[in-house]
Chains A and B, each alone.
Chain A
Amino acid sequence: MDAKAVHERLKQKFGEKITGANLEAASPFAVVAVEAIEEVAVFCKADPDLAFDNLMCLAGVDFPKETPARMEVVYHLLSYPHGHTFALKVHVPRDSPAVPTVENVWGVANWHEREAYDLLGIVFTGHSDLRRILLPDDWVGHPLRKDWTDPDFYNGMHVKPTPQMADRAMGGEKIGVGPFDFTPPNAHIAD
């Protein structure tokens, strides 16, 4: 089944809950309403023509500059019996992102959702074990967000160079940290 047929089937079953789609993208996707994602996931797995029995990737993306500011959760699905792929997207408001979990449909979503929670702060309601996975247990905040700034200290350790050091380096002074200098990234691009 190609992307158009998959989209048609989803629209046939769920109608208004499929709120958008982009079938010309390199990885075609359909946008699903937040509350319906779990039943859409169950349908995708159970329907014999779709048969999306594998969740390839679950990614969270942060869009603070959109209006309204939103986060997306992208589900990339693969069907082993049929061989086709498709993506589902969910848009959640950025200030309180909450998505129903799909870990009961695809077991691997357990860890993927933990990672999205850890790095972006998206809460997956109904998750059996939502806790941090990559960052230390007592880390505060969600660093992959676009508006993230590093804290000054973590458990008594300096997290980054002090602002004074950073200012001096951006001004062109060579700040040596051992044998390496601090040169601002992308300084060679005249953009």
Chain B
Amino acid sequence: MASEHRAADYAWDVGEIDTDEMILNMGPQHPATHGVLRIELRTDGEVVKAARPHIGYLHRCFEKHAENVDYPGVIPYTDRMDYVASMGNSLGYALAVEKLMGIEVSPYVQIIRVIVAELQRIASHCVAVGTYGMDIGAFTPFLHLLRDREKILDLFEWTCGARLLYNYNWVGGVSHDLPEGFPRACRDFLREFDAITFPELMELLIGNKIFVKRTANIGVCPVPLAVSFDLTGPNLRGSGVPRDLRKDAPYCGYQNYDFAVCLGKGDYGPTGSCFDRNLVRAREMAESSKILHQAVEALEKTEKTDVHEKVPKRVKPAAGEIYFRTEAPRGQLGYYIVADGTGVNPYRVKVKSPCFTAMSVFHILARGMMIADIIALIGSLDIVLGEIDR
């Protein structure tokens, strides 16, 4: 069964546009597309009439690899999907396999997982908000936020040796215990973050009138469209829907922490604009900081257990399947794992990445915008091509 390749399906032909329209290609190489993404724009002057995203430039066959390595061996592959927020990816996979096998980890390991996931959330939102500011033209907040992200990455390097791709959350535990002095270092970081970085970010970027003017009236995603196209996480909360998996379907002990769900309320324009999505991300950093304070306190009070005690020698779940979702920084990350019970390799691992579905609504939101707004829209959806293409 050969697939037919019809060139006309894949690219607009110059002959089929009106005379005053232009086909502009925001090619795979572009400073503002957050990865290798190609967007074909059909514009009338500066106004975009139609936009077609082309993905697949970073497709690395994750799902095929997952069928050829054993269950623990998939974890490094999961790291590399959303490489900006790796802890969340491996957490989702490890939790899915643990649920399939019926493994319960100790509260100590759960707290470690929460600490690491929330630190990763702050780091990921630092990149998201910082690069968004840079796309809009404000260069300075990006560097301030990256300075704080460096501190988080230093904490991660101290814990498990890696700065970006950790192989940290294993099936049944984590790879390294938190080192001595980690609570103190974490608290130091949070103190600086809460006192300096976060207020400066809100004043310098989020409250900036030019930034608001650029982002508050564009890319408005109404709630039915958002739900139909499976926008999740900050994208959905930006449209005003108060859904957060950490509250709705808690995992890893999230029900024990007190934090608020940040919503976009349409402060400066219609609800669901680019500004709202970005504001949700910025405010979520403060909420993550809250969770971290509570988690570090809980860590000091909980009895320490061996982080490898529940890690099975050989991960061989019985036949079955599961769809497990977690709240990654970019949205709802879902793993559909099919185990056939006979081998050490998974039978099928399908990843529902939040950026993939966020990108699917792009062509609808992009109609009628100007080219500068396209950049703002991509940044507000916070896409990472590694996750879209897998």
Contacts and interface: CB of A to CB of B under 8 A. Distances in A.
Closest 5 CB pairs of A and B: A26-B322, A59-B350, A57-B352, A108-B230, A111-B360
Interface stretch (A2-10, A135-143, A163-171): A135-143
A59 B336 contact: yes
A189 B70 contact: yes
Contact of B348 (A59, A121, A129): A59
Nearest to B59: A134
B249 to A, nearest CB: 8
10 contacts: A26-B322, A55-B230, A56-B334, A61-B348, A107-B225, A108-B229, A108-B230, A108-B357, A133-B56, A142-B1
Contacts of A54: 227-228, 230
Given A54-B228, A135-B59, 19 more contacts: A27-B321, A27-B336, A59-B336, A76-B336, A80-B227, A80-B241, A106-B228, A129-B9, A131-B6, A132-B3, A133-B56, A134-B390, A135-B56, A139-B3, A143-B64, A185-B73, A186-B69, A186-B345, A189-B344
Nearest to A29: B321
Nearest to B350: A59
Using C-beta atoms within 8 Å of the partner chain, give the interface range for chain A. Answer: 35 or more
Contacts of A142: 1, 3
B63 A121 contact: no
Contacts of A144: 63-64
Nearest to B332: A56
A131 B9 contact: yes
A140 B55 contact: no
A133 B55 contact: yes
Nearest to A27: B323
A16 interface: no
Contact of B2 (A55, A87, A141): A141
Given A26-B320, A131-B10, A186 B55 contact: no
Contacts, number: 116
B178 interface: no
Interface in A113-137: 119, 121, 129, 131-137
A31 B52 CA distance: 35
A110 interface: yes
Contacts of B64: 143-144, 148
B322 A27 contact: yes
B246 interface: no
Contacts of B227: 53-54, 80
Given A107-B229, A139-B3, A185 B322 contact: no
B105 interface: no
Given A108-B228, A131-B10, A140 B59 contact: no
Q: Which of A108, A121, A136 has the most CB of B within 10 A?
A: A108
